[in-house]
Amino acid sequence: MSAYNLFRNTGPDGLSCAVPEERSVPAFVVGPQWRFEGRLENPRAGPLGFDGRAAATGVRFNGYYLFASFQKAAMQRECRL
């Protein structure tokens, strides 16, 4: 599999979308609700919440992979509360 382009929803739910570079970005990934987060060359080094095997399956059926993305700093703050 080639590299993925990663997009993150700006809402509080942490929804992210990974799209292989050779695929079109889904129509729902538009406007101010989504922002480009970067390029992922190695699925094993993906963001917290990214699963390479699930991504391969999602791409096979949908052309993209939706996942809940977590940020370590936010998780550490929540654990302290």
Condensed to tens digits (0 to 9), the pLDDT of residues 35-75 reads: 999 999 988 888 889 999 999 999 999 999 999 987 654 43
* Amino acid 14: pLDDT: 84
Strands (E), the chain: 4-9, 15-20, 34-40, 65-68
Contact 66, 17 (CB under 8 A): yes
Coil, strand or helix at 34: strand
- Prediction pTM value: 0.82
DSSP 63: S
